Chains A and B, each alone.
Chain A
Amino acid sequence: MNDLPAPQYDALLELLSAGCRDAKTALSRMRREPIELSLADVRLQARSEAVNRLVRRDAGLIYGVAQELDGALSGTALFVLPQEQGLELVQLLLGRRLQPNALSTLEQEALLEIGNIVLCALLAALSDKLDLPAPSALPTLYRGNAANLLESSAPQDEALSLRLSCHLKFHRVESDVLLLLDAPSCQRLRLQLERFVPPGATS
């Protein structure tokens, strides 16, 4: 369950919505046509819970774009798609039919870039406003079972998860974003959310 108090949750939602808008602008510009990106189901929860939801929903077979994070938010940022949706998203953005069940290296890089744009926009929105710098490494592609995301995680590790719907030309692609954070990073995130006063709010 989401265990953030309502004001912090609202602040988090507001920041992530701004990040989502930035990602939408970047993707639409690249594609030269409007792409709708909407945010739903934002939760800060135990990592095992976040991963288990993916495993249950997508039979666990996913494409994941991962970026290691350093700094105030330390851990891994992940953009996750069920495998079929990953192929569909790349097809839609490239505007051409792909071979079934296979992405060439260059097509994989297109998927990496899409994940990279989404993750960096969301992270920038969080780190700018909350003063939590979180530099990221180059994105890498993960293909396999979602359950493996639990490897090497400590029981107290948490994950900030959200669901993203992408609408493009009569198509809808559902994806997830997971920030797998270590315990001190989560602590910092909670603290900064508590302090965060949205622009325009009166104290």
Chain B
Amino acid sequence: MTASLPVFADVFDTLPLGLMIVDAERQVRHWNRWLENASGLPREQVVGQRFARLFPTLATARVGLAIDAALDNGHAALISQALHGAPFDLNNGSSRPMQQTVRIVALDAGQGERYALLQISDVTEQVSHDEDWRRQSIELARFSRLDALTGLCNRKGFEERLEIECQRAQRSLQPLAVLIIDIDNFEAYRDEMGSLAADQCLVRLARVLNGIVKRPGDLLTCFNGGAFAAILPSTVEAGAVKVAERALAAVTQLALPHPRSAVGPHITVSIGAATSVDGKETADRLRKRADAALRRAQASGRARHALAPVQLSPDGFRRAP
């Protein structure tokens, strides 16, 4: 008969978590030693008091409503740290407030008598651990060649691949095209809609553009700040223009609302394209020409593409200035 053991009452005081019992009158009936230590409130000051008097702000918030649900309907509740942080004013000796997970269960004592048991766990260390983990993941992503959000290659991956493709084009005297695709007024979009919506917008655009830059050997990459770049080997001007036009049309068709666009009610992109006709172009120059073309597209009203001018080179090949 566990209930009749003389040590039973002491069990609550040995547990490494807070235990509070509230009765149907919303009076606190038990307050264990862990809670005494963490709150600085001795049992005598708490037991017998109404919960609402001790914790006026909590009584009308999620904790109080969950206690009501336990006492009135017998429902258990979980109150998460991620959504509530530190509901009770508790301290574990560290400089920040003790972060808590609170579990509330109904205990039936028979004859319709019911109590709510609150279990309060200290998850401060776990929160720090999660924060470290998040920081490390961001750090790792910086060294990676993949953009964590879209799964596309990132800028680092773009630079490396462009270098390789330029060398390959030079060896084989093959053309090569680069497209830089910039979302119009993306910073304003992020400010207006929030960073989560901005992330989702990037993911959707990545999906659509991936369906256009799809020949074997083509590469679509994602830069920070709402820009994409495509490397298109063996592609002449006409091909680059065709891809740019398809990308413009596909983004228009998505019709994602953009409340602060200077162009119209929806998300649009501007595209700068540059080609190396004979492969005799360095990666750096090719990228700069695509950038310049992009600025031209933006200056002439956005939501359009512009092609970097091509000239004949002194040795007879057509080359860009």
Contact = CB atoms under 8 A, between A and B. Distances in A.
B111 interface: no
| Contact size range, B | 35 or more
Interface stretch (A9-17, A132-140, A148-156, A194-202): A132-140
Interface stretch (A35-43, A116-124, A174-182): A116-124
B145 to A, nearest CB: 16
Interface in B102-135: 103, 105-106, 108, 123, 126-127, 130, 133-134
A62 interface: no
A92 B195 CA distance: 10
Interface in B64-81: 65, 69, 72-81
Contact of B73 (A99, A116, A127, A169): A127
B25 to A, nearest CB: 19
A109 B80 contact: yes
Given A26-B65, A100-B148, A116 B77 contact: yes
B299 interface: no
B137 interface: yes
B72 to A, nearest CB: 8
B74 A136 contact: yes
Contacts of A91: 196
Contact of A124 (B75, B103, B197): B75
Contacts of A139: 76, 78
A85 to B, nearest CB: 13
Interface in B43-72: 61-62, 65, 69, 72
A31 B281 CA distance: 54
Contacts of A57: none
Given A109-B80, A116-B78, A135-B106, A104 B193 contact: no
Contacts of A135: 73-76, 106, 108
Contacts of A113: 77-80, 83
B194 A123 contact: no
B191 interface: no
B83 A30 contact: yes
Interface in B123-165: 123, 126-127, 130, 133-134, 137, 148-149
Contacts of B195: 97
Contact of B194 (A99, A106, A127, A169): A169
A169 B75 contact: no
Contacts of B148: 99-100
B126 A124 contact: no
A123 B65 contact: no
Contacts of B130: 104-107
Interface string A78-106: 00000000000011111111011000111
B134 A99 contact: yes
Contacts of A133: 73-74
Contact of B196 (A67, A95, A106): A95
A159 interface: no
B101 interface: yes
Contact of A97 (B65, B133, B199): B199
A49 interface: no
A169 B196 CA distance: 10
B7 interface: no
A128 interface: yes
Given A106-B123, A170-B193, A170-B197, A93 B76 contact: no
Nearest to B82: A110
A128 B75 CA distance: 12
Nearest to B141: A99
Q: Which 6 A-B pairs have the closest CB atoms?
A: A135-B74, A110-B82, A109-B80, A113-B80, A138-B76, A120-B75
6 contacts: A29-B62, A91-B196, A96-B196, A100-B148, A113-B79, A138-B105
Given A135-B106, A136-B76, 12 more contacts: A93-B83, A100-B148, A106-B80, A106-B81, A106-B123, A107-B82, A109-B82, A110-B80, A123-B73, A127-B73, A136-B74, A170-B257
